[in-house]
Chains A and B, each alone.
Chain A
Amino acid sequence: MSRVTPCWLGGNAGVVLPWRIVVTVTHAQRRTPKVAKTNSVFKKAVMAVSGIILVLYLIAHMIGNLKAFSGAESFNSYSGWIRTVGNPALPGATALWIIRIVLLVAVVAHIWAAVSLWRQAKRARPQGYVTKKAVAQSYASRTMRWGGVIILAFIVFHILDLTLGTVNAEGFDSEPFDRMLASFQNPVVTIFYAIAVILLGMHLRHGIWSATQTLGQSNRRREKTVSAFAVVLATVLTIGFLLTPFAILFGLID
């Protein structure tokens, strides 16, 4: 790109400059978009690391959910344990709040990176193709963005429903197990939950592979293993999360 020395002569007709102004015109048609303030690969790394934190949380969350199969007491006492873990060294629900803050930071970072890369992609191709054929992309990779938005909406509902009890029939002052029963005995809630969990499974299937790539840990030899690992972990988490609500819906847990 050539240097542009702006020509002010037109604007200041009365001023005579003692030196010659050289005007080099750049290619008028090149629209250079706003210089990306942050590196796109760095954003991807933020997305990958925050995603890994969230996946680790999901594994723990799924194991916790499965306690529902060992009865109300076990489930409620587990729920109580999370609030007192680390006591008395850590007072009150300190450990829980540390986890919550880490998760919140991870979620915000994940969304920030996603929105910023989504916008970058929009700017990168304002005019689409009349005909475009997908060759390699999977349904999972195609639904990362809108799937992510739906998962976010679900998480908001999920917290209002089961953590805060705001939208739960049992209300806030109930036992966690009762709130869970009240929710999943309602087929509408269970179906919304199932849709979100299946979307989450697909999100993980592409996300785990993509994170491995982004962190530079994939290569030709590992590619198959990484993909297989992504499929297995995504499937295990999806099934693990679906077991409890459907067991409740069909009356296997009450």
Chain B
Amino acid sequence: MTASMQSSVGNPGAEKRGMNLTLRIWRQQGPTAKGKMVTYKITDISPDMSFLEMLDVLNEQLILQGDDPVAFDHDCREGICGMCGVMINGQAHGPQQTTTCQLHMRSFADGDTIDVEPWRATAFPVIKDLAVDRRAFDRIIQAGGYISVPTGTAPDAHATPVPKADSDAAFDAATCIGCGACVAACPNASSMLFTAAKVTHLGLFPQGQPERNDRVVNMVAQQDREGFGGCTNIGECSAACPKGISMETISRLNHDLLGALRAGARPKS
């Protein structure tokens, strides 16, 4: 901490204590362009920087050199929006179970080589460099990730009682931020954990019951349609999820889906 503060106030005699890193970043001009890994050297990175701040520093240097900055998605930078996912050294969001913006450079060692790649899935086509199009998730939500309620004045509190255990489990599932790390980490590029989180979240509440069967059937049909892979219960998704959504949600989705199919629910074509 002291060292980085000294270097930031520009003490000329002070020994540089920042990290020197080699970055290998996927560069791709556009959706149809052929991409490749490009190597960059970056020096004097503070261990207290977030991974995105480190990329900001790199981009400033690239702009000064007249190069094209690396495109990457980001928004809130506080771990709740789900925009900033990239593959870091082969792990979704890097070595910590958190979002890329909440990953700090102290998770790496001085002299490390870090590979940075975009999410890889047919359903998440690369827009440019590290930015991918995750609208497939929006379409899965549109297919059934909602409840229909009359609008108007707010309902009375506790008008609809919800058991505490259900409420807790639903909230755990509702922490999903739709970042896509589950798809990125899955060997099958399956979006099962994402869809399962939504199905669990809504299916545990009384308000979610009227559309419960149609919801699961349509959301699963949509995820197949988007070109995601099938789930083989390997568990890479849950291990990569910055919100720690559990594999239990997938079992719940399967349970709901098989029940819905038995009850005659069929996906809208």
Report the separation of the CA atoms of residues A123 and B123 in the bound assembly, to the nearest whole angstrom.
10
Across-interface contacts of A219 in B (CB, < 8 A): 248, 251-252
A129 and B251 contact, CB distance less than 8 A: no
B125 and A29 contact, CB distance less than 8 A: yes
Q: Which of B225, B235, B246 contacts A220 (CB 8 A)?
A: B246
B122 and A124 contact, CB distance less than 8 A: yes
Task: Pick the interface stretch among B15-23, B83-91, B147-155, B205-213.
Answer: B83-91
Of residues 20 to 47 in A, which have CB atoms within 8 Å of B's CB atoms? 27, 29-33, 35-36, 39-45
Contact with A along B79-98 (1 / 0, CB 8 A): 00000000101110000000
The total of interchain contacts (Cβ-Cβ below 8 angstroms) comes to 165
A125: CB under 8 A from chain B? yes
B73: CB under 8 A from chain A? no
A120 and B230 contact, CB distance less than 8 A: yes
Report the separation of the CA atoms of residues A137 and B259 in the bound assembly, to the nearest whole angstrom.
29
A127: CB under 8 A from chain B? yes
Across-interface contacts of A220 in B (CB, < 8 A): 246, 248
B254 and A31 contact, CB distance less than 8 A: no
Residues A39 and B220 in contact in the complex (CB < 8 Å), given A29-B31, A31-B122, A137-B187: yes
Q: Which of B234, B254, B267 contacts A136 (CB 8 A)?
A: B234
A130 and B115 contact, CB distance less than 8 A: yes
Report the separation of the CA atoms of residues A120 and B32 in the bound assembly, to the nearest whole angstrom.
22
Contact with B along A143-162 (1 / 0, CB 8 A): 01000000000000000000
A3: CB under 8 A from chain B? no
B255 and A129 contact, CB distance less than 8 A: no
How many chain A residues touch B (Cβ–Cβ < 8 Å)?
Answer: 51
A253: CB under 8 A from chain B? no
Most buried by A among B31, B188, B221: B188
Output the nearest chain B residue to A122 by Cβ-Cβ distance: B229
B101: CB under 8 A from chain A? no
A218 and B248 contact, CB distance less than 8 A: yes
B167: CB under 8 A from chain A? no
Report the separation of the CA atoms of residues A216 and B217 in the bound assembly, to the nearest whole angstrom.
15
B252 and A135 contact, CB distance less than 8 A: no
Task: Pick the interface stretch among A59-67, A86-94, A177-185, A207-215.
Answer: A207-215
Nearest Cβ on chain A to B112's Cβ, whole angstroms = 13
A136 and B239 contact, CB distance less than 8 A: yes
Residues A216 and B258 in contact in the complex (CB < 8 Å), given A121-B189, A125-B229, A135-B91: yes
What would be 7 A-B contacts, judged by CB atoms less than 8 Å apart? A29-B31, A29-B125, A42-B261, A131-B87, A132-B87, A135-B239, A218-B251
Residues of B within 8 A of A (CB): 24, 26, 31-32, 37, 87, 89-91, 115, 117, 120-123, 125, 127, 133, 139, 185, 187-190, 217, 220-221, 223-236, 238-240, 246-248, 250-259, 261, 267
CB-based closest 4 A-B pairs: A216-B255, A124-B229, A133-B90, A36-B224
